[in-house]
């Protein structure tokens, strides 16, 4: 008889009410894969976007779907040729597969070993589970797509959320000047992370506020907010500046803007670097709320408010 597990699942696209907690068979381990006993899983806005069907034409999917792409857990079994990690090793991963089906809001997941890195040992399970998706997204957006250099000025929109909060720290570590945009209640939090200046996105003239702080213009806009906030901030970009967004795909933008859209893929090498930063205290994860697996729908409702500071975690 197949091993079974509890998992949050949905059988059709829709709101958080589609989530059910059910008993399912643990997926079969194939060559190059490992079975993880999940300890914690990060919740991200993209989990709602996938569940509501907004990405159904972009990502292949098979129902029933277990949501969740962030994971920290313990290696429990190994498939043929999966020998990088031993049984009992504590690891973490960004678990997005080419087909959306078996996610991390469950007691177990089967995942390619190549996705895994050892988890940061000097932080808790919940903090470790909060790193992969947002950490890799910020890392790729700033260091690769944005080619951020020491001494440059970066403007981070939506800087108090999961991606933005790690983005502040990674930009700071690079030696960049960081301007952070979010609601005023999060300004102290963003300054603690390393933002030199903070700006309220709701003020009537965002471009003017940015110009007062950076009169020479912005070298890189890292957009984690999109919408009107992005449109108001764009005039502050230098003529040779770069725009990197995790939400806007470029429709309607001035074609002369050096623009890149980022939808990050698993990368265990970069996770190892993020592990080193977290272990040495140079990268911190703020966990604002923890939910039991049974309360997954409520965790997804909370992230849908778009007013989350740092990370929300589902704990097994």
At 217-249, the pLDDT tens digits run 999 999 999 789 999 999 999 999 999 999 998
- Residue 306 in this model has a pLDDT that exceeds 80: no
- Residue 9 in this model has a pLDDT that exceeds 90: yes
pLDDT one-digit tens code per residue, 11-63: 999 999 999 999 999 999 999 999 999 999 999 999 999 999 999 999 999 99
pLDDT one-digit tens code per residue, 143-164: 999 999 999 999 999 999 999 9
Token pair, residue 94, equals 């960004």
Dihedral (CA of 120, 139, 205, 251) sign: negative
The predicted pLDDT at position 4 comes to: 96
State which CATH number among 3.40.50.970, 3.40.50.10090, 3.40.50.1110, 3.90.180.10 fits the domain covering 4-131+285-315.
Answer: 3.90.180.10
The domain ranges of the chain are 4-131+285-315, 134-261
- Residue 269 in this model has a pLDDT that exceeds 90: yes
**Ranges assigned E (strand) in 209-261:** 218-223, 237-245, 258-261
The predicted pLDDT at position 204 comes to: 87
Q: Per-residue pLDDT averaged across 193-203, rounded? A: 95
Residue bearing tokens 């502050």? 236
Instruction: Quickly name the fold that domain 134-261 has.
Output: Rossmann fold (3.40.50)
Region of residue 281 (phi > 0: left; psi between -120 and 50: alpha; otherwise: beta) = left
Q: Per-residue pLDDT averaged across 207-223, rounded? A: 97
Q: Per-residue pLDDT averaged across 63-82, rounded? A: 98
Q: Which helix (H) or strand (E) holds 2?
A: none
Q: How far is CA 281 from CA 120, 173, 192, 277, 284, in A?
A: 10, 12, 13, 6, 7
CA distance 179 to 64: 42
CA dihedral 171, 173, 174, 180 (to 10 degrees): 20
Other Cβ atoms closer than 10 A to 133: 29
Q: Per-residue pLDDT averaged across 163-173, rounded? A: 97
CA distance 312 to 162: 9
Distance of CA 29 to the CA centre of its chain: 26
Q: What is the DSSP letter of 23?
A: E
Q: Per-residue pLDDT averaged across 173-188, rounded? A: 96
């Amino acid at each position: 008889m197949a091993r079974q597990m509890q998992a949050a699942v949905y059988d059709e696209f829709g709101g958080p009410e589609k989530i059910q907690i059910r008993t399912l068979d643990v997926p079969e381990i194939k060559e190059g894969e490992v079975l993880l006993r999940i300890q914690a899983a990060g919740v991200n806005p993209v989990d709602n976007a996938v569940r509501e069907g907004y990405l159904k034409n972009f990502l292949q999917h098979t129902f029933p779907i277990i949501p969740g792409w962030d994971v920290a857990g313990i290696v429990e079994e190994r498939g043929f040729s999966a020998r990088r990690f031993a049984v009992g090793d504590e690891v973490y991963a960004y678990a997005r597969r080419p087909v959306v089906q078996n996610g991390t809001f469950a007691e177990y997941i089967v995942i390619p070993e190549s996705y895994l890195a050892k988890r940061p040992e000097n932080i808790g399970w919940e903090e470790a589970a909060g790193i992969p998706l947002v950490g890799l997204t910020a890392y790729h957006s700033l260091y690769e797509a944005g080619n951020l250099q020491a001494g440059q000025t970066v403007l981070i929109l939506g800087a108090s959320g999961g991606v933005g909060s790690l983005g502040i720290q990674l930009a700071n570590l690079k030696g960049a000047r960081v301007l952070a945009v979010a609601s005023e209640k999060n300004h102290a939090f963003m300054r603690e992370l390393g933002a030199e200046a903070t700006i309220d996105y709701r003020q009537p003239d965002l471009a003017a506020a940015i110009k007062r702080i950076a009169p020479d213009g912005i070298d890189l806009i890292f957009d984690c907010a999109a919408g009107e906030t992005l449109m108001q901030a764009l005039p502050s970009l230098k003529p040779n500046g770069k725009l990197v967004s995790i939400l806007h795909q470029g429709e309607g933008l001035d074609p002369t803007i050096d623009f890149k859209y980022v939808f990050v893929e698993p990368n265990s090498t970069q996770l190892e670097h993020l592990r080193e930063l977290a272990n040495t205290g140079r990268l911190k994860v703020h966990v604002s709320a923890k939910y039991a697996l049974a309360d997954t729908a409520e965790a997804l409702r909370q992230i849908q408010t778009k007013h989350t500071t740092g990370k929300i975690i589902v704990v097994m």
